Amino acid sequence: SAMTDGIPCKRIHCYHHPMSDHEHLQSGPLDEITANEVDIVYAGFWIRVVATIIDSVLIVLLTMPALYGIYGDQYFNPDLFVSGFWDFLISWVLPALAVIAFWVFRSATPGKIMLHLKIVDAATGKHPTMRQFIIRYLSYFVSSIPFGAGLLWVAFDERKQGWHDKLAGTVVIKK
**Mean pLDDT, residues 65-92:** 87
* DSSP per position, 7-34: EE-EEEEEEE-TT-SS-------TTTSE
* Cα–Cα dist 87/159, whole Å: 37
In this structure, the chain runs to a length of: 175
Q: What is the pTM of this model?
A: 0.76
Q: How far apart are CA 154 and CA 168, in angstroms?
A: 14
Query: What mean pLDDT, rounded, does the chain reach?
Result: 82
* Banded pLDDT at 1 (limits 50, 70, 90): very low
How do residues 159-173 score in pLDDT, each as one tens digit?
A: 999 999 999 999 999
Q: Would you state the pLDDT for residue 39?
A: 76
pLDDT in tens, 115-151: 999 999 999 999 999 999 999 999 999 999 989 999 9
Give tens-digit pLDDT for 5-24: 334 445 454 433 333 333 34
| Beta strands 10-16; 34-42: pairing state | antiparallel
| Closest among 37, 46, 44 to 2, alpha carbons compared | 37
Q: Which of 11-20, 35-44, 103-112 has the lowest mean pLDDT?
A: 11-20
The pLDDT of residue 124 is: 93
